Amino acid sequence: MTLRIDDHRICYFDTRNGPQQRPASELTIITDADKAMSAVKLNGDLVHFTEAEADALIQAGATDGRRHLKASDSGSAI
Average pLDDT across the chain, whole number: 87
Q: Is 14 domain-assigned?
A: yes
Q: What is the pLDDT of residues 67-77, one digit of tens each?
A: 877 666 566 55
pLDDT value at residue 73: 52
* Domain CATH code at residue 8: 3.40.1170.40
pTM of model > 0.75: yes
Domain that holds residue 32: 2-64
Which residue did the predictor score with more confidence, 61 or 46?
61
pLDDT value at residue 1: 55
Q: Is 44 domain-assigned?
A: yes
pLDDT value at residue 71: 61
Number of structural domains the chain divides into = 1
SS3 state at 58: helix
Q: Is 71 domain-assigned?
A: no
How far is the CA of 58 from the CAs of 25, 42, 49, 76, in angstroms?
9, 16, 13, 24
